[in-house]
A and B are shown apart, each in its own frame.
Chain A
Amino acid sequence: MSDKYMKVEKIDHGTVIDHILPARAFDVLRVLGLSNDKTMSILVNSHSKKGGRKDILKLEDVELSAEAANLVALVSPQATINIIVGGKVVKKFNAEAPKVVRGILTCSNPNCISNQNEPITAEFRLSPDESHRYVCTYCDRDIIDLVKRISP
Protein backbone atom coordinates (compact mmCIF):
# COMPACT_ATOMS: atom_id res chain seq x y z
CA MET A 1 0.00 0.00 0.00
CA SER A 2 1.23 3.46 -0.91
CA ASP A 3 2.20 5.72 1.95
CA LYS A 4 0.43 8.51 0.03
CA TYR A 5 -3.05 7.08 0.35
CA MET A 6 -6.07 9.34 0.65
CA LYS A 7 -7.29 9.71 4.18
CA VAL A 8 -10.77 10.87 3.21
CA GLU A 9 -12.52 10.38 -0.08
CA LYS A 10 -13.71 13.27 -2.22
CA ILE A 11 -17.43 13.80 -2.14
CA ASP A 12 -19.64 14.01 -5.20
CA HIS A 13 -22.41 16.11 -3.70
CA GLY A 14 -22.55 18.12 -0.49
CA THR A 15 -20.57 20.66 1.46
CA VAL A 16 -16.90 20.80 2.44
CA ILE A 17 -16.07 23.16 5.28
CA ASP A 18 -12.37 23.90 5.09
CA HIS A 19 -9.90 25.92 7.18
CA ILE A 20 -11.73 25.24 10.41
CA LEU A 21 -9.61 26.16 13.42
CA PRO A 22 -7.77 23.08 14.71
CA ALA A 23 -9.87 20.88 17.00
CA ARG A 24 -13.02 22.92 16.36
CA ALA A 25 -14.73 20.55 13.89
CA PHE A 26 -16.93 19.01 16.57
CA ASP A 27 -17.98 22.48 17.73
CA VAL A 28 -18.91 23.29 14.13
CA LEU A 29 -21.10 20.18 14.04
CA ARG A 30 -22.76 21.26 17.28
CA VAL A 31 -23.67 24.75 15.99
CA LEU A 32 -24.98 23.28 12.76
CA GLY A 33 -27.09 20.78 14.71
CA LEU A 34 -27.03 18.24 11.85
CA SER A 35 -28.96 15.04 12.29
CA ASN A 36 -27.04 11.81 12.85
CA ASP A 37 -28.28 10.14 9.66
CA LYS A 38 -25.91 12.14 7.42
CA THR A 39 -22.66 10.72 6.09
CA MET A 40 -19.81 12.93 7.11
CA SER A 41 -16.03 12.86 7.30
CA ILE A 42 -14.15 14.77 9.91
CA LEU A 43 -10.45 15.57 9.71
CA VAL A 44 -9.00 16.95 12.89
CA ASN A 45 -5.60 18.67 13.12
CA SER A 46 -4.86 18.08 9.46
CA HIS A 47 -1.79 19.73 7.90
CA SER A 48 -2.69 22.92 6.07
CA LYS A 49 -0.94 23.90 2.82
CA LYS A 50 -0.81 27.39 4.23
CA GLY A 51 1.12 26.05 7.20
CA GLY A 52 -0.10 25.01 10.62
CA ARG A 53 -3.09 22.80 11.29
CA LYS A 54 -6.73 22.88 10.44
CA ASP A 55 -9.90 20.79 10.61
CA ILE A 56 -12.01 19.83 7.61
CA LEU A 57 -15.62 18.65 7.53
CA LYS A 58 -17.17 16.89 4.56
CA LEU A 59 -20.95 16.62 4.64
CA GLU A 60 -22.43 14.33 2.00
CA ASP A 61 -25.71 15.29 0.35
CA VAL A 62 -26.03 18.40 2.50
CA GLU A 63 -25.96 21.78 0.77
CA LEU A 64 -25.60 24.29 3.55
CA SER A 65 -27.54 27.50 3.11
CA ALA A 66 -25.54 30.71 3.53
CA GLU A 67 -27.45 31.35 6.74
CA ALA A 68 -26.54 27.96 8.20
CA ALA A 69 -22.97 28.21 6.93
CA ASN A 70 -22.52 31.53 8.69
CA LEU A 71 -23.11 29.82 12.01
CA VAL A 72 -19.75 28.14 11.43
CA ALA A 73 -18.15 31.56 11.92
CA LEU A 74 -19.34 31.54 15.53
CA VAL A 75 -16.70 28.95 16.39
CA SER A 76 -14.28 29.29 13.48
CA PRO A 77 -14.35 32.74 11.84
CA GLN A 78 -11.86 31.89 9.04
CA ALA A 79 -13.64 28.80 7.71
CA THR A 80 -14.46 28.50 4.00
CA ILE A 81 -17.56 26.80 2.67
CA ASN A 82 -17.45 24.82 -0.59
CA ILE A 83 -20.66 23.57 -2.16
CA ILE A 84 -19.97 20.50 -4.27
CA VAL A 85 -22.22 19.32 -7.11
CA GLY A 86 -21.17 16.55 -9.52
CA GLY A 87 -17.77 16.34 -7.86
CA LYS A 88 -17.03 20.02 -8.61
CA VAL A 89 -16.98 23.12 -6.43
CA VAL A 90 -19.91 25.20 -7.68
CA LYS A 91 -19.84 27.78 -4.93
CA LYS A 92 -17.16 28.87 -2.47
CA PHE A 93 -17.50 31.49 0.21
CA ASN A 94 -16.26 32.51 3.62
CA ALA A 95 -18.44 32.00 6.65
CA GLU A 96 -19.58 35.42 7.84
CA ALA A 97 -20.37 35.96 11.51
CA PRO A 98 -24.17 36.27 11.82
CA LYS A 99 -25.46 39.59 13.15
CA VAL A 100 -28.08 37.89 15.32
CA VAL A 101 -27.99 34.37 16.78
CA ARG A 102 -31.17 32.85 18.16
CA GLY A 103 -31.48 29.61 20.09
CA ILE A 104 -28.02 28.15 19.51
CA LEU A 105 -26.17 29.70 22.43
CA THR A 106 -27.04 30.14 26.09
CA CYS A 107 -26.13 33.26 28.04
CA SER A 108 -23.05 32.97 30.24
CA ASN A 109 -24.69 35.16 32.88
CA PRO A 110 -26.45 32.71 35.25
CA ASN A 111 -28.69 35.54 36.48
CA CYS A 112 -29.93 36.39 32.99
CA ILE A 113 -33.68 35.99 32.51
CA SER A 114 -32.98 33.88 29.40
CA ASN A 115 -31.51 31.19 31.68
CA GLN A 116 -34.72 30.89 33.71
CA ASN A 117 -37.83 28.88 33.03
CA GLU A 118 -39.41 31.45 30.73
CA PRO A 119 -40.98 30.91 27.27
CA ILE A 120 -38.29 32.82 25.37
CA THR A 121 -35.39 31.95 23.08
CA ALA A 122 -31.93 33.22 23.98
CA GLU A 123 -30.75 35.81 21.48
CA PHE A 124 -27.36 37.44 20.90
CA ARG A 125 -26.27 40.36 18.73
CA LEU A 126 -22.86 40.74 17.15
CA SER A 127 -21.09 43.76 18.62
CA PRO A 128 -20.79 46.55 16.00
CA ASP A 129 -17.03 46.86 16.60
CA GLU A 130 -14.71 44.23 15.14
CA SER A 131 -14.12 42.36 18.36
CA HIS A 132 -16.29 39.36 17.34
CA ARG A 133 -18.15 39.70 20.66
CA TYR A 134 -21.76 38.60 21.03
CA VAL A 135 -24.00 40.50 23.42
CA CYS A 136 -27.11 39.04 25.06
CA THR A 137 -30.28 40.82 23.89
CA TYR A 138 -31.82 40.36 27.33
CA CYS A 139 -29.10 41.16 29.88
CA ASP A 140 -26.73 43.13 27.60
CA ARG A 141 -23.69 41.17 28.77
CA ASP A 142 -20.98 39.86 26.49
CA ILE A 143 -21.09 36.10 26.09
CA ILE A 144 -17.98 34.64 27.69
CA ASP A 145 -16.27 31.54 26.29
CA LEU A 146 -18.71 31.23 23.40
CA VAL A 147 -17.77 27.67 22.41
CA LYS A 148 -18.81 26.43 25.84
CA ARG A 149 -22.16 28.21 25.50
CA ILE A 150 -23.43 26.18 22.54
CA SER A 151 -26.77 24.68 23.56
CA PRO A 152 -26.66 20.92 24.06
Chain B
Amino acid sequence: MAVMDLAVRVRRGISSGAGKRLALGLAFVSPWLLGFLMFTVYPVVSSLYYSLHRYDLLRAPVFLGLGNYIEIFTEDPTFGTVVYNTFYYVLLSAPLGVVSAFLLASLLNTEIKGRPFFRAVFFIPAIVPAIVTAMVWSFLLNVQYGAINATLRGLGLSTIPFISSPRLAKPSLILIHMWAQGNAMVIFLASLQDIPRSLYEAATVDGANAWHRFWHVTIPMCTPVILFNLIMGFIGGFQNFTLPWLLTGGGPNQATEFYALFLYRQAFNYMRMGKASALAWILFVIIVAFTVTLFKSSARWVYYAGAGE
Protein backbone atom coordinates (compact mmCIF):
# COMPACT_ATOMS: atom_id res chain seq x y z
CA MET B 1 0.00 0.00 0.00
CA ALA B 2 2.75 2.38 0.99
CA VAL B 3 4.82 1.02 -1.86
CA MET B 4 2.06 1.71 -4.41
CA ASP B 5 1.75 5.17 -3.01
CA LEU B 6 5.47 5.61 -3.56
CA ALA B 7 5.28 4.33 -7.13
CA VAL B 8 2.60 6.89 -7.94
CA ARG B 9 4.71 9.64 -6.49
CA VAL B 10 7.76 8.49 -8.43
CA ARG B 11 5.82 8.70 -11.68
CA ARG B 12 4.67 12.21 -10.82
CA GLY B 13 7.74 14.06 -11.98
CA ILE B 14 11.24 13.25 -10.79
CA SER B 15 12.23 16.79 -11.70
CA SER B 16 10.28 18.37 -8.83
CA GLY B 17 12.04 18.94 -5.53
CA ALA B 18 10.05 16.23 -3.80
CA GLY B 19 10.90 13.82 -6.60
CA LYS B 20 14.57 14.55 -6.27
CA ARG B 21 14.49 14.04 -2.54
CA LEU B 22 12.54 10.82 -3.04
CA ALA B 23 15.08 9.51 -5.53
CA LEU B 24 17.93 10.36 -3.18
CA GLY B 25 16.20 8.75 -0.22
CA LEU B 26 15.41 5.61 -2.17
CA ALA B 27 18.99 5.45 -3.40
CA PHE B 28 20.24 5.44 0.19
CA VAL B 29 17.80 2.81 1.41
CA SER B 30 18.10 0.74 -1.78
CA PRO B 31 20.33 -1.94 -0.21
CA TRP B 32 17.64 -2.67 2.35
CA LEU B 33 14.87 -2.34 -0.24
CA LEU B 34 16.55 -4.89 -2.52
CA GLY B 35 17.30 -7.20 0.39
CA PHE B 36 13.72 -6.80 1.57
CA LEU B 37 12.41 -7.91 -1.82
CA MET B 38 14.88 -10.80 -2.22
CA PHE B 39 15.25 -12.11 1.31
CA THR B 40 11.88 -11.22 2.84
CA VAL B 41 9.08 -10.63 0.34
CA TYR B 42 10.06 -13.39 -2.05
CA PRO B 43 10.57 -16.09 0.61
CA VAL B 44 7.45 -15.09 2.53
CA VAL B 45 5.32 -15.34 -0.59
CA SER B 46 6.92 -18.56 -1.79
CA SER B 47 6.63 -20.00 1.70
CA LEU B 48 2.88 -19.54 1.35
CA TYR B 49 3.08 -21.25 -2.05
CA TYR B 50 5.06 -24.21 -0.70
CA SER B 51 2.72 -24.52 2.27
CA LEU B 52 -0.01 -25.47 -0.20
CA HIS B 53 2.16 -28.10 -1.87
CA ARG B 54 3.97 -31.31 -1.20
CA TYR B 55 7.64 -30.76 -1.98
CA ASP B 56 10.64 -32.94 -1.12
CA LEU B 57 13.31 -31.09 -3.15
CA LEU B 58 13.57 -33.99 -5.60
CA ARG B 59 10.26 -34.10 -7.38
CA ALA B 60 8.27 -31.10 -8.59
CA PRO B 61 5.86 -29.60 -6.03
CA VAL B 62 2.40 -31.20 -6.00
CA PHE B 63 -0.56 -28.99 -5.16
CA LEU B 64 -2.38 -30.14 -2.01
CA GLY B 65 -4.61 -27.19 -1.25
CA LEU B 66 -4.90 -26.98 2.52
CA GLY B 67 -3.69 -30.55 2.86
CA ASN B 68 -0.61 -29.70 4.90
CA TYR B 69 -2.61 -27.55 7.29
CA ILE B 70 -5.28 -30.22 7.68
CA GLU B 71 -2.64 -32.83 8.36
CA ILE B 72 -0.95 -30.64 10.96
CA PHE B 73 -4.12 -29.85 12.86
CA THR B 74 -5.94 -33.17 12.64
CA GLU B 75 -3.54 -35.99 11.85
CA ASP B 76 -0.14 -35.22 13.30
CA PRO B 77 0.02 -36.72 16.79
CA THR B 78 3.07 -34.65 17.79
CA PHE B 79 1.69 -31.23 16.89
CA GLY B 80 -0.47 -30.92 20.03
CA THR B 81 2.49 -31.77 22.25
CA VAL B 82 4.68 -29.32 20.38
CA VAL B 83 2.17 -26.48 20.77
CA TYR B 84 1.71 -27.28 24.46
CA ASN B 85 5.48 -27.34 25.05
CA THR B 86 5.99 -24.10 23.15
CA PHE B 87 3.23 -22.20 24.94
CA TYR B 88 4.35 -23.58 28.29
CA TYR B 89 7.86 -22.33 27.57
CA VAL B 90 6.91 -18.96 26.06
CA LEU B 91 4.28 -17.99 28.62
CA LEU B 92 6.67 -18.67 31.48
CA SER B 93 10.06 -17.77 30.04
CA ALA B 94 9.13 -14.36 28.62
CA PRO B 95 7.64 -12.88 31.82
CA LEU B 96 10.18 -14.60 34.08
CA GLY B 97 13.00 -13.37 31.86
CA VAL B 98 11.66 -9.84 32.17
CA VAL B 99 11.36 -10.20 35.96
CA SER B 100 14.91 -11.51 36.20
CA ALA B 101 16.28 -8.70 34.01
CA PHE B 102 14.31 -6.06 35.87
CA LEU B 103 15.38 -7.20 39.33
CA LEU B 104 19.04 -7.41 38.30
CA ALA B 105 18.85 -3.94 36.77
CA SER B 106 17.14 -2.55 39.89
CA LEU B 107 19.83 -4.01 42.07
CA LEU B 108 22.54 -2.55 39.84
CA ASN B 109 20.81 0.81 39.93
CA THR B 110 21.21 1.16 43.69
CA GLU B 111 24.12 2.95 45.21
CA ILE B 112 26.86 0.35 44.91
CA LYS B 113 30.56 0.28 44.29
CA GLY B 114 31.88 -1.73 41.37
CA ARG B 115 28.75 -1.44 39.25
CA PRO B 116 30.61 -2.07 35.94
CA PHE B 117 32.02 -5.27 37.38
CA PHE B 118 28.67 -6.66 38.55
CA ARG B 119 27.01 -5.50 35.35
CA ALA B 120 29.60 -7.42 33.34
CA VAL B 121 29.13 -10.57 35.41
CA PHE B 122 25.35 -10.49 34.96
CA PHE B 123 25.68 -9.62 31.29
CA ILE B 124 28.19 -12.19 30.08
CA PRO B 125 25.82 -15.21 29.98
CA ALA B 126 23.89 -13.35 27.26
CA ILE B 127 26.83 -13.12 24.86
CA VAL B 128 28.34 -16.55 25.26
CA PRO B 129 27.87 -18.83 22.23
CA ALA B 130 24.75 -21.00 22.58
CA ILE B 131 26.84 -24.10 21.96
CA VAL B 132 28.97 -23.24 25.00
CA THR B 133 25.91 -22.56 27.14
CA ALA B 134 24.55 -25.93 26.10
CA MET B 135 27.80 -27.80 26.78
CA VAL B 136 28.35 -26.19 30.17
CA TRP B 137 24.79 -26.63 31.41
CA SER B 138 24.52 -30.18 30.14
CA PHE B 139 27.59 -30.95 32.20
CA LEU B 140 26.49 -28.89 35.20
CA LEU B 141 23.02 -30.47 35.32
CA ASN B 142 24.14 -34.00 34.50
CA VAL B 143 22.65 -36.51 36.93
CA GLN B 144 25.77 -38.62 37.36
CA TYR B 145 28.70 -36.24 37.48
CA GLY B 146 27.29 -32.75 37.10
CA ALA B 147 28.49 -30.27 39.70
CA ILE B 148 25.06 -29.66 41.19
CA ASN B 149 24.09 -33.29 41.64
CA ALA B 150 27.57 -34.30 42.74
CA THR B 151 27.31 -31.65 45.45
CA LEU B 152 23.87 -32.86 46.48
CA ARG B 153 25.13 -36.43 46.62
CA GLY B 154 28.14 -35.33 48.61
CA LEU B 155 25.76 -33.77 51.13
CA GLY B 156 23.80 -36.99 51.27
CA LEU B 157 20.78 -35.49 49.51
CA SER B 158 18.85 -37.01 46.64
CA THR B 159 19.82 -35.92 43.13
CA ILE B 160 17.68 -33.83 40.79
CA PRO B 161 17.34 -35.21 37.24
CA PHE B 162 17.04 -31.74 35.69
CA ILE B 163 17.20 -32.24 31.94
CA SER B 164 16.75 -35.99 32.00
CA SER B 165 13.27 -35.78 33.49
CA PRO B 166 10.27 -34.89 31.30
CA ARG B 167 8.82 -32.90 34.19
CA LEU B 168 11.91 -30.78 34.91
CA ALA B 169 13.35 -30.33 31.43
CA LYS B 170 11.24 -27.28 30.52
CA PRO B 171 11.73 -25.54 33.90
CA SER B 172 15.49 -26.15 33.52
CA LEU B 173 15.50 -24.42 30.15
CA ILE B 174 13.52 -21.52 31.62
CA LEU B 175 16.05 -21.24 34.41
CA ILE B 176 18.89 -21.00 31.88
CA HIS B 177 16.88 -18.40 30.00
CA MET B 178 16.58 -16.31 33.17
CA TRP B 179 20.33 -16.58 33.63
CA ALA B 180 21.02 -15.13 30.17
CA GLN B 181 19.06 -11.86 30.36
CA GLY B 182 21.94 -9.43 29.86
CA ASN B 183 20.42 -7.52 26.94
CA ALA B 184 17.09 -6.89 28.62
CA MET B 185 18.87 -6.04 31.87
CA VAL B 186 21.00 -3.38 30.20
CA ILE B 187 17.94 -1.84 28.54
CA PHE B 188 16.17 -1.75 31.92
CA LEU B 189 19.21 -0.22 33.57
CA ALA B 190 19.27 2.59 31.02
CA SER B 191 15.59 3.32 31.54
CA LEU B 192 15.95 3.23 35.34
CA GLN B 193 18.72 5.78 35.11
CA ASP B 194 16.51 7.98 32.96
CA ILE B 195 13.82 8.32 35.62
CA PRO B 196 14.03 11.92 36.89
CA ARG B 197 15.12 12.20 40.52
CA SER B 198 12.47 14.84 41.04
CA LEU B 199 9.75 12.17 40.79
CA TYR B 200 11.25 10.26 43.69
CA GLU B 201 11.72 13.43 45.69
CA ALA B 202 8.12 14.46 45.10
CA ALA B 203 6.90 11.02 46.11
CA THR B 204 9.01 11.13 49.27
CA VAL B 205 7.60 14.53 50.20
CA ASP B 206 4.14 12.98 49.83
CA GLY B 207 5.16 10.37 52.38
CA ALA B 208 5.84 7.43 50.07
CA ASN B 209 8.18 4.77 51.41
CA ALA B 210 10.68 2.80 49.33
CA TRP B 211 8.13 0.15 48.41
CA HIS B 212 5.55 2.77 47.33
CA ARG B 213 8.13 4.54 45.22
CA PHE B 214 9.15 1.29 43.57
CA TRP B 215 5.55 0.38 42.84
CA HIS B 216 4.20 3.81 41.88
CA VAL B 217 7.19 5.52 40.29
CA THR B 218 9.77 3.00 39.13
CA ILE B 219 7.44 0.39 37.64
CA PRO B 220 5.14 2.82 35.77
CA MET B 221 8.15 4.70 34.38
CA CYS B 222 9.58 1.41 33.12
CA THR B 223 6.41 0.05 31.51
CA PRO B 224 7.41 1.03 27.93
CA VAL B 225 10.63 -0.96 28.34
CA ILE B 226 8.78 -3.80 30.03
CA LEU B 227 6.55 -3.96 26.95
CA PHE B 228 9.55 -3.90 24.62
CA ASN B 229 11.38 -6.66 26.49
CA LEU B 230 8.23 -8.73 26.85
CA ILE B 231 7.60 -8.60 23.10
CA MET B 232 11.21 -9.52 22.38
CA GLY B 233 10.89 -12.36 24.90
CA PHE B 234 7.73 -13.70 23.25
CA ILE B 235 9.09 -13.45 19.70
CA GLY B 236 12.36 -15.09 20.74
CA GLY B 237 10.61 -17.72 22.84
CA PHE B 238 8.41 -18.91 20.00
CA GLN B 239 11.51 -19.37 17.83
CA ASN B 240 13.67 -20.91 20.53
CA PHE B 241 15.82 -23.53 18.83
CA THR B 242 19.50 -23.80 19.55
CA LEU B 243 19.53 -24.47 23.29
CA PRO B 244 16.87 -27.20 23.39
CA TRP B 245 18.28 -28.68 20.17
CA LEU B 246 21.72 -29.03 21.72
CA LEU B 247 20.86 -29.56 25.37
CA THR B 248 17.91 -31.94 25.26
CA GLY B 249 17.39 -32.64 21.56
CA GLY B 250 13.67 -32.27 22.12
CA GLY B 251 13.59 -34.93 24.81
CA PRO B 252 13.21 -36.59 27.17
CA ASN B 253 10.01 -38.12 25.86
CA GLN B 254 9.37 -35.03 23.66
CA ALA B 255 9.15 -32.77 26.72
CA THR B 256 11.23 -30.08 25.00
CA GLU B 257 10.15 -30.69 21.44
CA PHE B 258 9.45 -27.03 20.72
CA TYR B 259 7.92 -25.53 17.61
CA ALA B 260 11.19 -24.58 15.93
CA LEU B 261 12.68 -28.04 16.51
CA PHE B 262 9.63 -29.77 15.12
CA LEU B 263 9.65 -27.49 12.08
CA TYR B 264 13.37 -28.03 11.48
CA ARG B 265 12.93 -31.80 11.54
CA GLN B 266 10.05 -31.66 9.08
CA ALA B 267 12.16 -29.59 6.68
CA PHE B 268 15.62 -31.07 6.96
CA ASN B 269 15.21 -34.56 8.38
CA TYR B 270 12.03 -35.60 6.57
CA MET B 271 12.44 -33.24 3.59
CA ARG B 272 8.85 -32.10 3.95
CA MET B 273 9.35 -28.55 2.73
CA GLY B 274 5.63 -27.97 2.21
CA LYS B 275 4.63 -29.05 5.69
CA ALA B 276 7.48 -27.08 7.22
CA SER B 277 6.30 -23.97 5.34
CA ALA B 278 2.76 -24.48 6.61
CA LEU B 279 4.13 -24.80 10.14
CA ALA B 280 6.12 -21.61 9.63
CA TRP B 281 3.01 -19.74 8.55
CA ILE B 282 1.06 -20.96 11.56
CA LEU B 283 3.93 -19.77 13.75
CA PHE B 284 3.96 -16.43 11.97
CA VAL B 285 0.24 -15.93 12.60
CA ILE B 286 0.66 -16.86 16.28
CA ILE B 287 3.53 -14.39 16.71
CA VAL B 288 1.69 -11.55 14.98
CA ALA B 289 -1.44 -12.24 17.04
CA PHE B 290 0.59 -12.21 20.24
CA THR B 291 2.44 -9.02 19.38
CA VAL B 292 -0.70 -7.19 18.29
CA THR B 293 -2.54 -8.27 21.44
CA LEU B 294 0.31 -7.06 23.61
CA PHE B 295 0.41 -3.72 21.81
CA LYS B 296 -3.36 -3.35 22.12
CA SER B 297 -3.26 -4.17 25.83
CA SER B 298 -0.42 -1.72 26.31
CA ALA B 299 -2.82 1.23 26.19
CA ARG B 300 -4.11 0.01 29.54
CA TRP B 301 -0.87 -0.61 31.37
CA VAL B 302 1.97 1.20 29.62
CA TYR B 303 2.67 4.71 30.75
CA TYR B 304 4.30 7.07 28.27
CA ALA B 305 5.76 10.11 29.99
CA GLY B 306 5.86 13.01 27.53
CA ALA B 307 3.69 11.22 24.97
CA GLY B 308 5.09 13.49 22.29
CA GLU B 309 8.53 11.97 21.98
**A, B: real partners:** no
Q: Which residues of B contact A (CB under 8 A)?
A: none
Q: Which residues of A contact B (CB under 8 A)?
A: none
